[in-house]
Amino acid sequence: MIILITGASHTGKTVLAQRLLEKYKYPYLSIDHLKMGLIRSGNINLTPMSDDKELSEYLWPIVREIVKTAIENKQNLIIEGCYIPFDWKKDFSEDYFDDIRYYCLIMSENYIKKHFNDIKIYASVIENRLDDEYCTLENVLKDNTQILELAKKNGASYILIDNEYKIDIDL
């Protein structure tokens, strides 16, 4: 089983991946770790501040082939990150679909406004964010609105976090 977790920044993708690792004992891959490994090793001419579209275009083909390899080897894997495209299915033949679960995490405007301080507090629960200046109420609202629009436009499934942050995925 492959579990893909995506969504806007600060929606809890890494926390969910960690919980699933603990619950199911499936290893997980952070696409941010892959990105930073490629950047720091000098294998790509991108930076952590490069455009998300540009990063996605570079990283997704690598991640896509990791997914295929894991399925072909009958291995379980959780992959989390914001670089998973909404139209990911186009890159796989239908025989892969039974082995892939896709989850896009989106926070509602209501949730963000009521819980923004919590979003900031929990931002470094799993990973140490060295620079989190981007995490402003305006940016979190904008990012989640954009992700929701893209998910709807592409017919992608998503989990809307509205009243409380309670996500539990059963496989």
The overall average pLDDT reported for the chain is 91
* Residue 83 predicted with pLDDT over 60: yes
User: pLDDT-derived band of residue 128, with 50, 70 and 90 as boundaries?
Assistant: low
* pLDDT on residue 113: 95
Q: What percent of the chain has pLDDT over 70?
A: 94
If you ran DSSP here, which 8-state letter would residue 91 be given?
G
Whether residue 58 contacts residue 106, with contact meaning beta carbons closer than 8 Å, is answered with: no
pTM here?
0.90
Residue closest to 20 by CA, chosen among 121, 133, 101: 101
Lowest mean pLDDT among 19-28, 101-110, 160-169: 160-169
Amino acid identity, position 72: E
Longest Cα–Cα distance of the chain, Å, equals 44
User: pLDDT-derived band of residue 130, with 50, 70 and 90 as boundaries?
Assistant: low
Helix 109-121 vs helix 137-154: angle between axes, to the nearest 10 degrees? 130
Whole-angstrom CA distances from 63 to 24, 77, 84, 116 are 21, 11, 8, 31
User: pLDDT-derived band of residue 149, with 50, 70 and 90 as boundaries?
Assistant: very high
* pLDDT on residue 11: 93
Residue closest to 107 by CA, chosen among 98, 118, 99: 118
* pLDDT on residue 132: 59
- What DSSP letter does each residue of 98-165 carry, written as one string? GGEEEEEEEE-HHHHHHHHHHHHHGGGSSS--S--TT--HHHHHHHHHHHHHHHHHHT---EEE-SS-
* Residue range 2-54, pLDDT digits in tens: 999 999 988 999 999 999 999 999 999 999 999 999 999 999 999 888 888 89
User: pLDDT-derived band of residue 118, with 50, 70 and 90 as boundaries?
Assistant: confident
Whole-angstrom CA distances from 116 to 14, 121, 137 are 18, 9, 7
* Residue 63 predicted with pLDDT over 90: yes
* pLDDT on residue 171: 83
- Dist. CA 47–CA 54, nearest whole Å: 10
